């Protein structure tokens, strides 16, 4: 835009960012404090290990991970993406005159996801085999 | 719904892929053979659908996809190669429990390639590129008990990921400078690209991204390892199909979007193309593995085809496109022959290693006459012997180079062709002039069929190039007109 | 759908048969013989239907063409000339294929044999229906190739291998001349059209003929003589014909070509391929007739060959060689007939082609009979034969019919006579008219003496083979019906074909060049400087009867010598004339050993040896340098994926710098 911009307005436009920053910095300590005051305690050994979605968090870096862990993770990410798609779809579904196209499109999408899911299931990927 | 009809070929392939995957789950290993036929039928249907819409011309989905002579040309190349590969794979995947994955991946790779040919937007192009790449990464490592196959897949994947990153980086620069990812719109805003130093960076990054698929020196180094290590049928798909995807992407980006940078690019491409063809041919001279030799020959051929980017005249692009079409037949065929030879060696000795060694081609004319004859036609075509497809394509391309005044480039290319004759002829010598070391082996029907089909293709293009050159010219006009 | 639309199938079916028999013949009955037989039957039927259609509707010639390599085309042109040839070739080829089933019964490489003969038939048919000179040349080379393959069919025999080589190399001399002619023609037309025309194919016969006046206007200086381009081109074309049709002095390959199976000799080296040269001249006759001097050259050379070959045929002791020289001699008559265009204009085409067709029938029959004898008795030296007639009556009778046809027995002045009589006498009479017109009597003398010798050598062959007592011990039996049936059919044609067609034939062929809309006889006078006779010739009675009298004389003399043994011929063995002829005029010594080996071989090889060593060194140096470089570069390919990635990044950086530099420079 060719017009001369007032520098102060630029600074002003960063005010929301600053607020966001402050809230971001302050929020975690506050929540932790609240937790400290409000939650009940139970002290066990497991309690102090880091949470890694079920896999052993400590040890040699060269250990072999259980491959099922990754399959779960991938399935999780896939369905995450599905939600990510469905959400904006739901918001534009009405009011744009594309109802039929939108329905077919999302149905095709879901069918593909379902086929993938059937494949995963049938292949036994969801079975956590214990060695 | 015009869009759906025009994309019926792609949809057919996708549907086939899903059906193959689903059905395969419920079949036992013996009856999985039907999947190969299903996949081939799907590809054939798609080919027919594409042929029906040969002269379609439309831009759709908010300008992200386009169907024109160029895209149809490439789609047909991809589908023909895929059809050859998939029919041959019926034999290759026999008694394998992962047939459904195999064919699904092949089909998805083809969809990716076809979408690249149709893409009119850098993002769509990138996503389709990735679809094809990721499918082929998995295919390269399909023999998961074979260390070589795994190694090849790993190298392919790592270098592929790096190249994708570079390409995406390049696309982001283009977007930053031109403010759009739509290819024709970039062309309108390309003044920004020319004036900014970042323009160079974006172009170079894109060259690297496409050069990886095309196997341009120095982005070629994965190719010999991957082509050698992967199953031969997959190498065939990679060399004859996925390589062409790099070309169509490069054609679209460099000739439509970045046409303003033509002069800067010309010289750079000339140097790249000379280095690529020379290095490919020279290294191919001393290879003893036929697949490796074909891989380097494929690098060299990429060098020839890249001359189209140097000359950029309608005739040169026609020549390049015609070369791409012929190369699809010749290279796919040649790799399929190595697949047949591999089958022959392995059926004798399950533990055999280096099945594609030149020694194994000794006396092939006696042991498997159809394969040997086809191989002879393919390598002669690759060398550019008259009355084969290879000759006609070289003829058109080289003469366009001379016409454009780049005599030195044509001379280098012709010298290179002369060098290449040596290593091609060597294969023929091994097949026809050495005594056979073993019994006659009957060639499995799917292999024999595909080889004959490819030979017929090579010969038709050599004997009767007229209509195909005409067609390539129409496709080239898409690039020139915009 | 008019029958002409199927014309493309005529060469295509044998081509398919070639592919099928070649790859799958081993697994089929009789080495896959039925495939080419079926294919050629269909080709024959289509050709015949087209011919019949043309007979009724002379304007329905078949002309189709499609683009080929841009400025050229692939096309089909079936006018009366091509139609007649197509029908004859497919018919003879069909009969010979059927005959081969019996003849080649015991040969192991039957599939290869039938594949190669199918390939030959395909190329010959393709040659005939070409509508442009370039396509014709391609097929011309293909027939040469299949002839080479078939002469060397028994390549294990050194004589067969060297005969094949000789045939290939000798005809190659002619082919080079033909090609040179095409190139000159092309450059002339290129100049006339001023580049490639948009709406025409310049090497199509139509275009060639339509531009004869322009080409005639061009001339070149050769040894100080002003030579019209038209004469140059036609003489070069004729040079090609000389090679293919075994005219003097390029005839040397044809007798040796008899090393191939007898069926091949019958098909290729008697009935069809060797007539390709005659066909070439007939096809481009509008150019020949407009070219000054060319026809005179053809007449002399053809006449001389007719006589020259006949003298050699009379002393040969090998059945097939007699027939080979006879073929050369008869081809000479055909050429002579074409040369008579100088006096009778375009009618010469009909005259010559009529003899070509009749010759195809009786000469193919002669070869098949000879093959039948060889098949049964196992030798083809006539000195060892004798009395075969009793063993093989059908063979003897059919061969006698063929011999009568060749010698030309019939009643002059009427249309009653053997086929050979009707066509050969017409040529001899034309030669007489030529003599009267131009006072050049030489062609006529050649022809008439040749006619006497023809009768002499063929009856010598018949008497020595079929009559008397066997000179060595052998047993024989009549050949199987697959062999005798084609022989009987051909015998019928040798006897009657001429009688039924003699009038019709020249009228039909007279329509050949109608498609170009030019008065060609006028061209002959205006451009070619030939004086044509405007009304039918009137020969004295003696001239009409002379050929027959001479033929009978030949018969009588041989009867006396070889049957009654009245005249003792063993004395004559030592006279110099016999020696000269028996050694084939020492042409082998002069041409092969003297010229070819001493001068060409040794001289050239010495020169080439030194040049070669120099080139060899350079080539080796380049080759090893490249291979070394390859080995060196191979080490760049380490196989370590990190290095590959490094190379990519380095490549990107270097490329960026490169583009930057280029931008700066520009």
List pLDDT tens digits, range B317-369: 999 999 999 999 999 999 999 999 988 888 888 877 788 888 888 888 888 88
Structure confidence at residue C583 as a pLDDT band (50, 70, 90):
low
pLDDT computed for residue B302 by the predictor: 93
E strand or H helix at C287: helix C285-289
Q: B25 and A119: CB-CB below 8 Å?
A: yes
In tens, the pLDDT along C458-484 reads 888 888 888 777 777 667 777 788 888
Q: A115 and B22: CB-CB below 8 Å?
A: yes
Residues of A in Cβ contact (< 8 Å) with B21? 115, 119
This model of the complex carries an ipTM of 0.80
CB nearest C626 (choices: B218, B282, B465): B282
| Cβ contact C81:C349 at 8 Å | yes
Residue B146 pLDDT greater than 60, yes or no: yes
Of the residues B209, B282, B365, the best mutation for testing chain C's interface (the one with the most C CB atoms within 10 Å of its CB) is: B282
User: A6 CA to chain B: closest CA distance, Å?
Assistant: 25
| Among chain B residues, CA nearest to A120 | B25
At a CB cut-off of 8 Å and minimum separation 6, what does C200 contact? C193, C207
Of the residues A122, A123, A124, A125, the best mutation for testing chain B's interface (the one with the most B CB atoms within 10 Å of its CB) is: A122
In tens, the pLDDT along C140-165 reads 988 888 888 888 888 778 888 888 88
User: A111 CA to chain B: closest CA distance, Å?
Assistant: 10
Residue A32 pLDDT greater than 80, yes or no: yes
What are B's interface residues with C at a Cβ cutoff of 8 A? 154-155, 158-159, 162-163, 166, 197, 200-201, 203-205, 207-208, 211-212, 217-219, 221-222, 224-225, 263-265, 267-268, 271-272, 279, 282-287, 369-370, 419, 422, 464-466
pLDDT computed for residue C551 by the predictor: 83
User: C215 CA to chain B: closest CA distance, Å?
Assistant: 30
Q: B25 and A118: CB-CB below 8 Å?
A: yes
| Among chain B residues, CA nearest to C24 | B370
pLDDT computed for residue B482 by the predictor: 55
Who has greater pLDDT, C60 or B456? B456
Residues of B in Cβ contact (< 8 Å) with C660? 197, 200
Chain A 52-111, residues with CB within 8 Å of chain B CB atoms: 111
CB-based touch B/A (3+ pairs, under 8 A): yes
Query: Which segment of A21-35, C95-109, C349-363, C554-568 scores lowest on mean pLDDT?
Result: C554-568
Who has greater pLDDT, A124 or B170? B170
Which chains would you list as touching A if contact means 3+ CB atom pairs under 8 Å? B
| Cβ contact C51:C84 at 8 Å | yes
Q: B22 and A119: CB-CB below 8 Å?
A: yes
- How large is the average pLDDT for residues C581-604? 60
Q: For all residues of chain C together, what is the average pLDDT?
A: 81
pLDDT computed for residue C650 by the predictor: 85
A122 touches chain B (CB under 8 A): yes
pLDDT computed for residue C210 by the predictor: 84
In tens, the pLDDT along B463-476 reads 888 889 999 998 99
Residues of A in Cβ contact (< 8 Å) with B22? 115, 118-119
C195 touches chain B (CB under 8 A): no
A14 touches chain B (CB under 8 A): no
Residues of B in Cβ contact (< 8 Å) with A118? 22, 25
In tens, the pLDDT along C610-639 reads 776 777 777 777 777 777 777 777 676 777
Q: A119 and B21: CB-CB below 8 Å?
A: yes
| Among chain B residues, CA nearest to C662 | B264
Q: Give strand pairing partners of C73.
A: C67
- How large is the average pLDDT for residues C376-401? 81
Q: B18 and A112: CB-CB below 8 Å?
A: yes
Who has greater pLDDT, B132 or C379? B132
What are the backbone angles phi and psi of residue B119, rounded to the nearest 5°? -75, 145
Q: B204 and C659: CB-CB below 8 Å?
A: yes
- How large is the average pLDDT for residues C68-92? 84
Q: B25 and A112: CB-CB below 8 Å?
A: no
Structure confidence at residue C243 as a pLDDT band (50, 70, 90):
confident
Residue B311 pLDDT greater than 70, yes or no: yes
Residue B1 pLDDT greater than 70, yes or no: no
Residue C445 pLDDT greater than 60, yes or no: yes
Structure confidence at residue A21 as a pLDDT band (50, 70, 90):
very high
| Cβ contact B225:C643 at 8 Å | no
Q: A115 and B25: CB-CB below 8 Å?
A: no
Residue C581 pLDDT greater than 70, yes or no: no
Distance CA C238, CA B80 (A): 48
Q: B286 and C630: CB-CB below 8 Å?
A: yes
C646 touches chain B (CB under 8 A): no
Domain map of chain B by residue range? 2-481
Residues of A in Cβ contact (< 8 Å) with B25? 118-119, 122-123
Residue C99 pLDDT greater than 60, yes or no: yes
Which chains would you list as touching C if contact means 3+ CB atom pairs under 8 Å? B
Of the residues A81, A111, A115, the best mutation for testing chain B's interface (the one with the most B CB atoms within 10 Å of its CB) is: A115
- How large is the average pLDDT for residues B76-81? 94
In tens, the pLDDT along C289-347 reads 888 788 888 888 899 888 888 888 888 888 888 888 899 999 999 999 888 888 888 88
At a CB cut-off of 8 Å and minimum separation 6, what does C107 contact? C113, C261
Extract the tokens encoding B74: 């490439």
E strand or H helix at C77: strand C72-78
Q: C666 and B264: CB-CB below 8 Å?
A: yes
pLDDT computed for residue A131 by the predictor: 47
Residues of C in Cβ contact (< 8 Å) with B222? 641, 644
Structure confidence at residue C666 as a pLDDT band (50, 70, 90):
low
In tens, the pLDDT along C197-233 reads 777 788 888 888 888 888 877 777 777 677 788 888 8
Chain C 538-557, residues with CB within 8 Å of chain B CB atoms: none
CB nearest C659 (choices: B166, B203, B370): B203
CB nearest B166 (choices: C70, C639, C652): C652
Best-predicted range by mean pLDDT (A51-55, C50-54, C62-66): C50-54
E strand or H helix at C185: helix C158-193
Distance CA C356, CA C285 (A): 15
Alpha carbon C521 to its chain's center: 27
In tens, the pLDDT along A62-102 reads 777 677 777 788 888 888 888 888 888 888 877 777 778 88
Distance CA C645, CA C656 (A): 17
Q: C630 and B284: CB-CB below 8 Å?
A: yes
Of the residues C662, C664, C665, the best mutation for testing chain B's interface (the one with the most B CB atoms within 10 Å of its CB) is: C662
Residue C521 pLDDT greater than 50, yes or no: yes
Residue B154 pLDDT greater than 80, yes or no: yes
pLDDT computed for residue C601 by the predictor: 60
Distance CA C334, CA C277 (A): 10
C640 touches chain B (CB under 8 A): no
Residue C420 pLDDT greater than 90, yes or no: no
Residues of A in Cβ contact (< 8 Å) with B144? none
Q: Is C523 helix (H, G, I), strand (E, B) or coil?
A: helix
In tens, the pLDDT along B230-277 reads 999 999 999 999 999 999 999 988 887 777 777 777 888 888 899 999
pLDDT computed for residue C602 by the predictor: 64
By percentage, how much of chain C surpasses pLDDT 90? 3
| Among chain A residues, CA nearest to B19 | A115
Q: For all residues of chain B together, what is the average pLDDT?
A: 89
Structure confidence at residue C571 as a pLDDT band (50, 70, 90):
very low
| Cβ contact B166:B146 at 8 Å | no
Question: Is the pTM value of this prediction over 0.80?
Answer: no
CA distances for B421 relative to B328, B416, C263, C523, angstroms: 19, 9, 40, 52
| Cβ contact C546:C444 at 8 Å | no
Residues of C in Cβ contact (< 8 Å) with B219? 647-648, 651
pLDDT computed for residue B301 by the predictor: 93
Residue A59 pLDDT greater than 80, yes or no: no
Q: List the one residue out of B172, B103, B164, B179 whose CA is nearest residue B131.
A: B164
Residue C649 pLDDT greater than 90, yes or no: no
pLDDT computed for residue B324 by the predictor: 94
Distance CA C566, CA B309 (A): 89
Query: Which segment of B4-8, B97-101, B394-398, C592-596 scores lowest on mean pLDDT?
Result: C592-596
Q: B18 and A119: CB-CB below 8 Å?
A: no
Who has greater pLDDT, C529 or B145? B145
């Amino acid at each position: 835009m060719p017009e001369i911009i007032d520098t102060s307005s630029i600074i002003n436009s960063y005010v929301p960012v600053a607020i966001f920053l402050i809230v971001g910095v302050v929020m975690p300590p506050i929540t932790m404090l609240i937790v400290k005051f409000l939650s009940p305690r139970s002290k066990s050994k497991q309690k102090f290990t880091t949470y890694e979605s079920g896999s052993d968090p400590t040890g040699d870096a060269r250990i072999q991970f259980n491959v099922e862990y990754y399959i779960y993770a991938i399935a999780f990410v896939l369905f995450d993406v599905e939600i990510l798609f469905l959400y904006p779809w739901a918001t534009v579904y009405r009011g744009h005159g594309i109802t039929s196209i939108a329905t077919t499109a999302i149905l095709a999408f879901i069918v593909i996801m379902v086929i993938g899911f059937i494949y995963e299931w049938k292949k036994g990927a969801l079975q956590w085999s214990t060695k | 719904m015009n869009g759906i009809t025009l994309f019926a070929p792609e949809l057919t392939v996708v549907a086939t892929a899903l059906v193959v995957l689903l059905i395969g789950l419920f079949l036992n290993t013996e009856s999985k053979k039907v999947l190969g036929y299903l996949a081939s039928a799907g590809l054939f249907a798609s080919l027919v659908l594409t042929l029906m819409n040969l002269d379609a011309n439309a831009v759709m989905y908010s300008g992200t996809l386009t169907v024109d002579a160029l895209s149809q040309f490439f789609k047909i190349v991809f589908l023909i190669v895929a059809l050859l590969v998939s029919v041959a794979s019926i034999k290759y995947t026999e008694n394998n429990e992962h047939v459904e994955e195999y064919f699904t991946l092949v089909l998805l790779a083809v969809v990716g390639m076809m979408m690249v040919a149709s893409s009119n937007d850098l993002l769509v192009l990138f996503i389709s590129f990735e679809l094809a790449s990721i499918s082929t990464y998995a295919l390269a490592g399909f023999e998961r008990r074979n260390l070589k196959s795994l190694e090849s897949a790993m190298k392919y994947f790592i270098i592929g990921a790096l190249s994708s990153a570079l390409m995406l980086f390049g696309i982001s620069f283009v977007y930053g400078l031109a403010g759009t990812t739509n290819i024709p719109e970039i062309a309108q805003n390309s003044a920004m690209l020319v004036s900014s130093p970042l323009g160079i960076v974006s172009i170079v990054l894109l060259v690297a991204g496409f050069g990886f698929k095309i196997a341009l020196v120095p982005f070629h180094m994965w190719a010999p390892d991957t082509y050698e290590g992967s199953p031969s049928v997959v190498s065939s798909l990679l060399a004859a199909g996925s390589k062409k995807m790099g070309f169509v992407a490069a054609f679209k980006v460099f000739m439509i979007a970045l046409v303003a940078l033509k002069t800067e690019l010309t010289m750079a491409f000339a140097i790249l193309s000379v280095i690529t063809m020379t290095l490919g041919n020279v290294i191919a001279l001393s290879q003893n593995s036929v697949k490796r030799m074909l891989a380097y020959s494929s690098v060299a051929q990429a060098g020839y085809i890249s001359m189209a980017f140097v000359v950029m005249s309608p005739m040169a692009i026609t020549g390049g496109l015609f070369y791409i079409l012929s190369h699809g037949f010749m290279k796919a065929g040649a790799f399929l022959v190595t697949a047949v030879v591999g089958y022959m060696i392995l059926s004798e000795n399950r533990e055999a290693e280096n099945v594609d060694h030149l020694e194994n081609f000794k006396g092939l004319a006696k042991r498997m006459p159809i394969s040997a004859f086809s191989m002879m036609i393919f390598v002669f075509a690759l060398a550019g012997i008259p009355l084969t497809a290879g000759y006609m394509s070289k003829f058109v391309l080289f003469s366009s180079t001379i016409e454009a005044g780049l005599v030195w480039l044509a001379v280098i290319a012709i010298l290179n062709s002369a060098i290449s004759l040596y290593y091609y002829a060597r294969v023929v010598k091994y097949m026809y002039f050495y005594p056979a070391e073993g019994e006659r082996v009957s060639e499995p029907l799917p292999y024999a069929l595909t080889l004959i089909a490819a030979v017929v293709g090579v010969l038709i293009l050599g004997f009767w190039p007229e209509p195909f050159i005409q067609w390539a010219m129409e496709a080239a006009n898409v690039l020139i007109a915009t | 759908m008019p029958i002409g639309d199927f014309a493309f199938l005529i060469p295509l079916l044998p081509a398919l048969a070639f592919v099928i028999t070649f790859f799958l013949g081993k697994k089929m009955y009789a080495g896959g013989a039925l495939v080419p037989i079926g294919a050629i039957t269909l080709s024959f039927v289509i050709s015949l239907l087209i011919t019949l259609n043309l007979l009724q509707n002379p304007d329905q010639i078949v002309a189709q063409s499609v683009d080929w390599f841009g400025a050229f085309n692939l096309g089909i042109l079936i006018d009366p000339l091509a139609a007649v040839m197509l029908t004859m070739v497919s018919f003879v080829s069909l009969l010979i294929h059927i005959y081969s089933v019996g003849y080649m019964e015991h040969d192991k490489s039957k599939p290869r044999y039938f594949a190669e003969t199918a390939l030959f038939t395909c190329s010959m048919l393709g040659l005939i229906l070409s509508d442009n000179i370039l396509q014709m040349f391609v097929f011309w080379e293909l027939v040469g190739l299949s002839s080479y393959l078939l002469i060397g069919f028994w390549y294990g025999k050194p004589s067969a291998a060297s005969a094949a080589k000789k045939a290939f190399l000798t005809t190659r001399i002619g082919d080079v001349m033909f090609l040179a002619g095409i190139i000159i023609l092309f450059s002339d037309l290129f100049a006339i059209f001023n580049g490639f025309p948009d709406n025409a194919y310049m090497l199509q016969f139509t275009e060639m003929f339509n531009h004869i006046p322009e080409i005639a206007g061009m001339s070149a200086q050769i040894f100080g003589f002003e030579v019209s381009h038209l004469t140059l081109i036609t003489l070069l074309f004729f040079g090609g014909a000389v090679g293919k049709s075994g005219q003097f002095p390029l005839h040397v390959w044809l007798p040796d070509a008899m090393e191939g199976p007898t069926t091949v000799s019958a098909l290729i080296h008697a009935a069809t391929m060797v007539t390709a040269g005659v066909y070439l001249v007939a096809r481009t006759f509008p150019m020949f007739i407009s070219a000054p001097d060319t026809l005179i050259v053809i007449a002399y050379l053809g006449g001389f060959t007719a006589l020259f070959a006949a003298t050699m045929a009379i002393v040969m002791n090998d059945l097939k060689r007699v027939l080979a020289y006879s073929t050369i001699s008869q081809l000479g008559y055909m050429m002579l007939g074409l040369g008579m265009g100088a006096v009778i204009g375009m009618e010469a085409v009909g005259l010559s082609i009529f003899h070509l067709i009749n010759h195809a029938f009786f000469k193919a029959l002669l070869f098949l009979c000879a093959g039948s004898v060889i098949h049964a008795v196992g030798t083809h030296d006539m000195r060892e034969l004798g009395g075969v007639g009793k063993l093989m009556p059908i063979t003897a009778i059919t061969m006698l019919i063929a011999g009568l046809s060749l010698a030309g027995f019939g009643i002059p002045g009427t249309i009653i006579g053997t086929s050979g009589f009707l066509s050969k006498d017409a040529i001899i009479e034309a030669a007489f008219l030529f003599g009267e017109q131009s006072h050049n009597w030489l062609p006529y003398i050649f022809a008439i003496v040749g006619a006497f010798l023809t009768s002499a050598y063929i009856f010598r062959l018949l008497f020595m083979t079929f009559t008397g007592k066997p000179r060595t011990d052998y047993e024989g039996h009549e050949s199987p019906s697959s062999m005798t049936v084609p022989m009987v059919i051909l015998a019928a044609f040798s006897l009657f074909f001429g009688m039924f067609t003699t009038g019709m034939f020249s009228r039909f062929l007279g329509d050949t060049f109608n498609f170009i809309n030019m008065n060609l006889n006028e061209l002959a006078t205006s451009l070619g400087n030939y004086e044509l006779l405007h009304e039918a010739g009137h020969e004295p009675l003696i001239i009409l009867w002379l050929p027959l009298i001479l033929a009978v004389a030949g018969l009588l003399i041989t009867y006396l010598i070889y049957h009654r043994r009245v005249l003792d011929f063993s004395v004559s063995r030592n006279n110099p004339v016999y020696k000269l002829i028996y050694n084939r005029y020492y042409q082998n010594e002069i041409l092969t050993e003297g010229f070819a080996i001493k001068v060409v071989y040794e001289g050239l090889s010495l020169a080439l040896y030194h040049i070669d060593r120099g080139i060899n060194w350079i080539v080796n140096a380049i080759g090893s340098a490249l291979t070394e470089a390859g080995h060196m570069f191979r080490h760049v390919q380490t196989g370590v994926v990190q290095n590959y990635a490094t190379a990519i990044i380095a490549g990107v950086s270097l490329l960026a710098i490169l583009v930057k530099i280029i931008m700066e420079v520009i």
